[in-house]
Amino acid sequence: MNCPHCHQKVSLLSGAMNKTGKVKICPHCSGRVRLYVSMKTALLWLAPVTLVAFVLSPVLGMLLVGPAGALAVAMSMRLKAAESV
Ligand SMILES: [Zn+2]
């Protein structure tokens, strides 16, 4: 995902992002950023995936809801400028 300040790619696994606390520091520009999950984006990812799985097979759908939900949340993580909150 990209930093809201300098728009450079920031890895979640980088040291700066692994610091505890809600406000993180961008390793490129030292800007303060917050990690948040967009529920709207998560639902946009989750709904079609679960729908297709249930249509194909209700059993498969049941099995896929958990991993699909986790994936949807992962895909929906965004960085937000801490100052704007
Ligand atoms: Zn930055």
Residues 28 and 4: beta-carbon distance below 8 Å: no
Residues 46 and 20: beta-carbon distance below 8 Å: no
For residue 50, report the distance from its CA to the centre of ligand 1, in Å: 35
Q: What is the tens place of the pLDDT at every residue in 54-84?
A: 899 888 888 888 888 888 888 888 888 987 5
Which amino acid appears at position 66 of this protein?
G
For residue 25, report the distance from its CA to the centre of ligand 1, in Å: 8
Strand order in the sheet with 32-37: 23-25, 32-37, 77-81
Name the DSSP class of 2: B
For residue 62, report the distance from its CA to the centre of ligand 1, in Å: 40
Q: How far apart are CA 34 and CA 55, in angstroms?
A: 37
Confidence category of residue 39, pLDDT binned at 50, 70, 90: confident
For residue 9, report the distance from its CA to the centre of ligand 1, in Å: 8
Q: What is the tens place of the pLDDT at every residue in 42-55?
A: 888 888 888 888 89
